[in-house]
Amino acid sequence: MDRITARVEALLAKMTLEEKAAQMVQVPYAIVGREEALRWARLGAGSFLHVLGDDAREVQRIAMQESRLGIPVLFGIDAIHGHGLNAHATIFPTQLAAACSWEPEVLRAMGEDTAREVATDGLHWTFSPVLCLGRDTRWGRVNETFGEDPYLAGELGAAIIRGYQGDDLADGEHILACAKHYIGYGEAVGARDACDTEMTYRKLREVFLPPFKKAVEAGVASVMTAYGSIDGTPFTADPVSLRDILRGELGFDGFVVTDWDNVNALVTRQHVAETVEEASVMAARAGNDMIMTTTQFYDAVVRAVRAGALQERVLDDAVRRILSIKCRMNLFERPEKTGRAGCLGCRAHLAHAREAAQKSIVLLRNEGMLPLRAGMKKVAVIGPNADDIRAQYGDWTYFSHPTPNPGHAPVRPYVTVKEGVEAACAARGIACAYHRGCSVPDGEYEDIEGAVAAAKGADAIVLVVGDVVDQVGEEKDRADLALSGKQEALFDALRALGIPLVTVLVASKPLALGRVALAADAFLCAFNGGMFGGEAVAQALFGEINPSGRLPISFPRHSGQVPVYYNQLPGWHAKPGRGYCDLPRTPLFAFGEGMGYSAFAYDGLTMDEKTLTASVRVRNTGAQAGTETVQVYFRDVVSSVLTPDKRLIAFRKVTLEPGECRTVTFAFDAADFSLVNRREQRVTEPGEFELMAGHSSRDEDLLCASFRL
Ligand code: NOJ
């Protein structure tokens, strides 16, 4: 028996049934209030969420000094893109924005900085990353995903987990990560948050499990159960996904936490249990170790065990897993993580936030307008999201979740697009005019004429459109992805001036932009870029950085075209090359797309059947150094079940000087070309395959080589 196991077993042997039940409860501090929170600490509650700094320290002190066994408490927080519920933290781009970097190191650094900042608040655990896929962009939480592709989500998810957790959970600077929401949450029917996913376990294994598998391989310490259900079975009550697959097959050895009040939801929302007692038994049996916010679980399981409706060893197993993590974090000796003094919003972290914002910029259209030229006299920055830091941050900051920092004013340093462009103009002696134009959504403010007047005489218009926090997040799914309010009218009025116009998207996710992107001279996607999102936009517009982001998600032409993710199954009975009879099948902008001020040409794709090594040559044909993301996809030509015409299997970023040529090599093994068959087994079926490599997922951007396995 190792040291941790021995310690856990010794502790478990001393625990009463009540103490075991309490250890499984996670108490919502802000909801129950201080007095009640301290009562729970005395009872031996295992965890608290959404409490910061001195309040957390007080709870910890009471738990360790006044509970019978003095077991330290684990504090969880939603540090989703930075420790953003603390108003003084570094705010990074959202997961979706950062995913545009296609760079695991960007995510690792973001995770590590966030961990340090969370730790300085005395906390131990972030409910991040989201490994759900953003396939139906009507869903309110697409901004929290790494986009639509399971391979990319897995690579970036594993990287941020390594950043959060480091090599040693006990070092005082790293925190627990939480892979969520397990599983298929983003796939709810109609993108209706938390609804049923019309999914089979085969599909779950094929598409949605791989990112979680990589998270487990990266050592993720906790997993959060999804709100929804799979074919009628709530994930909270599903031992197949939680026990058989997650623990049995993936070998996950951390603990499982439910999502917010999932146990009550079995009664109130999903109607599969009559009482919270019945629901608690279901949840414990299914494999949930910690119960978020449903504090009635405590009495319910104690009663259930006493009545013989639940075996105490179910609780023993859960408590073992929780205590093991507490030991691994060295909480008994050092309950308070201290991070690194002064690291909250420190210069090193801000530098990473700035770099992440720069690498998240995706240039999707440029009809010769960009970069903006130094000789201009006037630039006009127009639009509702040009100077709105709340919209630039998006979800999960002290604006969208103000509980720990109610009513907090925006904390510098941050740079909006307006401020970024103003600074760039000032440095070049260019005049800069600003006008908001209209509000998002409708109603609050509209002055299109004023915006047109401000733009008159400009050499270039920067129009910043998008969505706002009220349209983003939980319970905010959208049926209509078109730009809301008067944003299209604002575009039309400005376009009519005939001045070169670049549209910039500051939004939580792809919207159905139509002409606002296509009829502009240039279009640049910034999503929610965090503190330096606006500065990065300005740098890209003026050519101070060469945009290198690539889309991790497809843009629809229209809400009715959703889902439009690239790796769909074939078989659509549509005319060749067509899709809907009133809309093409292709998206407005495709997965993997993105350009810069360089251009890249590919040739010489080879795939060695014996070694399964592929190589391709890429050349910078542009006039300046640039970074390309070489993307590799494959197709299983004939398979026992339908497989997508394209699946991402590898990618590599390369920076090339003008004229420079590089051969990029990828090594695969047969398992990389696998599928999940009808018997739910992951197998590689022999036969013909195609390997594709190039600039994006679009057919016209890819070279193709056939090979056999
Ligand atoms: C509910 C959300 O679904 C989840 O992502 C989050 O971590 C918890 N609430 C805690 O705030």
Query: HSE of 159 in the Cβ direction (CA atoms, 13 Å)?
Result: 20
Of ligand 1's listed atoms, the one at least distance from the Cα of 144 is: 5
Quote the CA–CA distance of 133 and 649 in Å, as a whole number.
16
Distances in Å between the Cα of 211 and the Cα atoms of 68, 149, 153, 568, 691 are 40, 9, 6, 18, 22
Quote the CA–CA distance of 663 and 656 in Å, as a whole number.
11
Residues with Cβ within 8 Å of 6's Cβ and at least 6 positions away in sequence, in order, are none
What is the b/e burial string over 429-460, where b = at least 16 CB atoms within 10 angstroms of the residue's CB?
ebebbbbbbbbbbeeeebbbeebbebbeebbb
Give the dihedral sign, CA 685/689/694/699: negative
Distances in Å between the Cα of 264 and the Cα atoms of 184, 267, 476, 490, 587 are 20, 5, 21, 46, 40
Q: Which residues of the chain have pLDDT under 70?
A: 338-339
Quick one: residue 111, left, alpha or beta (phi over 0 = left, psi -120 to 50 = alpha)? alpha
Is residue 607 a contact partner of residue 707, using CB atoms and an 8 Å limit? Answer: yes
Q: Output the CA angle 377-379-384, nearest 5 degrees.
A: 165
Quote the CA–CA distance of 259 and 240 in Å, as a whole number.
18
Taking the centre of ligand 1 as the mean of its atom positions, its distance from the CA of residue 86, in whole angstroms, is: 16
Distances in Å between the Cα of 8 and the Cα atoms of 2, 228, 287 are 10, 33, 19
Taking the centre of ligand 1 as the mean of its atom positions, its distance from the CA of residue 259, in whole angstroms, is: 6
Residues with Cβ within 8 Å of 39's Cβ and at least 6 positions away in sequence, in order, are none
- Reference 702, options 622, 612, 616; nearest CA is 616
Residues with Cβ within 8 Å of 503's Cβ and at least 6 positions away in sequence, in order, are 463, 465, 491, 513, 516, 517, 520, 522, 523, 524
Taking the centre of ligand 1 as the mean of its atom positions, its distance from the CA of residue 401, in whole angstroms, is: 11
Strands 501-506 vs 460-466: parallel, antiparallel or unpaired: parallel
Number of H helices, E strands in the chain: 22, 26
Residues with Cβ within 8 Å of 610's Cβ and at least 6 positions away in sequence, in order, are none
Specify the residue with its C-alpha closest to ligand 1, atom 3: 259
DSSP state of 529: -
Quote the CA–CA distance of 12 and 138 in Å, as a whole number.
46
Q: Distance between alpha carbon 420 and the CA centroid of its chain, in Å?
A: 26
Q: Is ligand 1 within 6 A of the CB of residue 260? A: yes
Question: Roughly how many angstroms between the first and final C-alpha of the chain, as a whole number?
Answer: 45
Q: Output the CA angle 478-481-483, nearest 5 degrees.
A: 120
Q: Is ligand 1 within 6 A of the CB of residue 261? A: no
Specify the residue with its C-alpha closest to ligand 1, atom 1: 260
Q: Is ligand 1 within 6 A of the CB of residue 196? A: no
Q: Is ligand 1 within 6 A of the CB of residue 395? A: no
**Amino acid 9: pLDDT:** 98
- Three-state DSSP at 204 gives helix
Structure tokens at 480: 């209509």
Structure tokens at 112: 């590590």
Among residues 259, 387, 467, 477, which one is catalytic?
259
Measured in residues, the chain has a length of: 709
Label residue 246 exposed, middle or buried (CB < 10 Å: 0-12, 13-18, 19+). Answer: buried
Is residue 514 a contact partner of residue 492, using CB atoms and an 8 Å limit? Answer: no
Q: What structural domains does the chain harbor?
A: 76-328 (3.20.20.300), 353-561 (3.40.50.1700), 600-708 (2.60.40.10)
Please report where in the chains the tokens 């499982």 appear, as a residue: 256
Q: Is ligand 1 within 6 A of the CB of residue 113? A: no
**Amino acid 341: pLDDT:** 79
DSSP state of 143: G
Query: Residue type for 642, please?
Result: L
Q: Is ligand 1 within 6 A of the CB of residue 193? A: no
Taking the centre of ligand 1 as the mean of its atom positions, its distance from the CA of residue 29, in whole angstroms, is: 14
Query: Residue type for 350, please?
Result: L
Residues with Cβ within 8 Å of 450's Cβ and at least 6 positions away in sequence, in order, are 435, 437
- Three-state DSSP at 222 gives strand
Q: Is ligand 1 within 6 A of the CB of residue 127? A: yes
Taking the centre of ligand 1 as the mean of its atom positions, its distance from the CA of residue 657, in whole angstroms, is: 44
Quote the CA–CA distance of 397 and 703 in Å, as a whole number.
42
Specify the residue with its C-alpha closest to ligand 1, atom 7: 127
Specify the residue with its C-alpha closest to ligand 1, atom 9: 260
Give the dihedral sign, CA 302/304/305/307: positive
| pTM reported for the whole predicted model | 0.98
- Angle of helix 209-217 relative to helix 150-165, nearest 10 degrees, comes to 30
Output phi, psi for 410, to 5 deg.
Answer: -55, 135
Quote the CA–CA distance of 300 and 306 in Å, as a whole number.
10
Please report where in the chains the tokens 């049934």 appear, as a residue: 17
Ligand 1 pocket test, candidate residues 292, 294, 476, most atoms within 8 A of CB: 292
Taking the centre of ligand 1 as the mean of its atom positions, its distance from the CA of residue 413, in whole angstroms, is: 27
Of ligand 1's listed atoms, the one at least distance from the Cα of 181 is: 5
Taking the centre of ligand 1 as the mean of its atom positions, its distance from the CA of residue 524, in whole angstroms, is: 31
Structure tokens at 592: 């993997």
Q: Is ligand 1 within 6 A of the CB of residue 259? A: yes
**Amino acid 687: pLDDT:** 98
Taking the centre of ligand 1 as the mean of its atom positions, its distance from the CA of residue 110, in whole angstroms, is: 20
Distances in Å between the Cα of 481 and the Cα atoms of 400, 472, 560, 562, 603 are 21, 12, 9, 9, 38
- Reference 359, options 146, 107, 137; nearest CA is 107
Is residue 557 a contact partner of residue 384, using CB atoms and an 8 Å limit? Answer: no
Q: Is ligand 1 within 6 A of the CB of residue 78? A: yes
Give the dihedral sign, CA 298/301/303/306: negative
Quote the CA–CA distance of 291 and 236 in Å, as a whole number.
10
DSSP string, 31-49: HH-HHHHHHHHHHT-SEEE
Taking the centre of ligand 1 as the mean of its atom positions, its distance from the CA of residue 260, in whole angstroms, is: 6
**Amino acid 339: pLDDT:** 67
Quote the CA–CA distance of 44 and 27 in Å, as a whole number.
11
Query: Residue type for 549, please?
Result: G
Q: Output the CA angle 569-575-579, nearest 5 degrees.
A: 55
Establish whether 480 is a catalytic residue. no
Label residue 368 exposed, middle or buried (CB < 10 Å: 0-12, 13-18, 19+). Answer: exposed
Of ligand 1's listed atoms, the one at least distance from the Cα of 130 is: 5
Q: Output the CA angle 315-250-265, nearest 5 degrees.
A: 50
Query: Residue type for 212, please?
Result: F
Ligand 1 pocket test, candidate residues 78, 85, 223, most atoms within 8 A of CB: 78
Q: Is ligand 1 within 6 A of the CB of residue 144? A: no
Query: Residue type for 696, please?
Result: S
E strand map for 415-542 = 431-435, 460-466, 501-506, 522-525
Specify the residue with its C-alpha closest to ligand 1, atom 4: 259
Is residue 233 a contact partner of residue 250, using CB atoms and an 8 Å limit? Answer: no
Q: Is ligand 1 within 6 A of the CB of residue 182? A: no
Specify the residue with its C-alpha closest to ligand 1, atom 11: 78
Quick one: residue 652, left, alpha or beta (phi over 0 = left, psi -120 to 50 = alpha)? beta
**Amino acid 404: pLDDT:** 86
